[in-house]
Amino acid sequence: MLRLMSGNATSGLRRPDEPAIPSATLTAEDAALNAAVAIRLDEVAALLHEQGANPFRVRAYRRGAAAVRRLPAPVSSILDAGGLEALERLPGIGITLARSIRDIVRFGYFPMLERMRGDLDPLHLLATIPGIGRRLAGRLHDELGLETLEDLEAAAYDGRLEHLSAFGPKRLAGIRAVLAERLGRVRLPASGDRPPSAAELLDVDREYREKAASGQLSRIAPRRFNLEGRRWLPVLHAKRGPRHYTALFSNTERAHRLGATNDWVVIYGDRGHADGQWTVVTAPTGPLAGRRVVRGREAECAAYYARLRA
């Protein structure tokens, strides 16, 4: 039985905003878990540094890795005892790192690390949801074009999943509940947080494509669809106000199949509680044909271009 420590592991005193940490002698398995989490956070820090990201973000991940290594209890026990909020209140761990640690511990998957390696696999990500195996994830990707958990959530509510034979009422309800847990915390806005405007996302897209074309960006060698191990995929880390963005060309099977790997730009945004993923493409048809648009926000993009013309 774990008991909660009444004091900080190093000083004997705990600040009011620090979580109570389960007290237990670390087993070899517990120590290995903490080490594995710390190694992944360190790898993100190294990739951020190599790719020219903001030094503050590099230091944040290094501090987070060091904090996990110093924990007197398995990080999984802290998560079990107090949830995401307990991780967030640990010294050196904020909301972004807390979510990363949760994903590693709970789901064995760290999307940020995968995308920074250029290896983010939509099928793997979709298959982390209970009730969706690899084969069903492939159907969702191929038949509905789903690539993110946000895409899956939209399809779970707009009727698209209900039209697939694999989704009965019980499975659909379970998927909605899991997605509410996985995505709900992310969407609780901190004071003043708003989703980025289409104009801001289009500006990040512009900066990425211009710098990629002029050779100003670091390039990585994704493991997926890259048998030669060629460093072909440019990566941009940018900042707009309080938001940090990572942008890179899509390296999904669908993008390769449609010849869109030099057109579709995937943008990841991070501002603690308010993060997200967006894809910017060249509209093939319609009133915005030839224009860059944010998928799912075409009306906002049309209004943006109308203001530019005015």
CATH of the domain at 81: 1.10.150.110
In a domain, 113, yes or no: no
For the CA atoms of 243, 244, 246, 247, what is the dihedral angle to 10 degrees?
40
Same domain, 15 and 104: yes
For residue 253, which of 88, 86, 121 has the smallest C-alpha distance?
121
In a domain, 290, yes or no: yes
Each residue's pLDDT tens digit, 216-227 = 998 888 877 877
In a domain, 61, yes or no: yes
Q: What is the sign of the dihedral through the CA atoms of 40, 45, 51 and 54?
A: positive
Q: Model pTM? A: 0.61
Same domain, 163 and 214: no
Same domain, 151 and 209: no
Each residue's pLDDT tens digit, 36-76 = 999 989 988 888 887 877 888 889 899 999 999 999 889 99
Listed residues 56, 85, 108: the one ending a domain:
108
For the record, the structure tokens of 110 come out as 């760290």
For residue 274, which of 197, 176, 178, 174 has the smallest C-alpha distance?
197
For the record, the structure tokens of 278 come out as 């967006």
Same domain, 31 and 103: yes
Task: Find the domain containing 166 and state its range.
Answer: 122-184
The more confidently predicted of residues 166 and 19 is: 166
**What's the chain's average pLDDT?**
81
Listed residues 84, 108, 132: the one ending a domain:
108
In a domain, 139, yes or no: yes
Each residue's pLDDT tens digit, 173-185 = 888 888 877 775 4
DSSP H helices, 93-226, are 95-102, 111-116, 122-126, 134-144, 149-157, 169-184, 198-213
Same domain, 71 and 161: no
In a domain, 115, yes or no: no
For the record, the structure tokens of 159 come out as 């009727």
Number of structural domains the chain divides into: 3
CA distance 310 to 308: 6
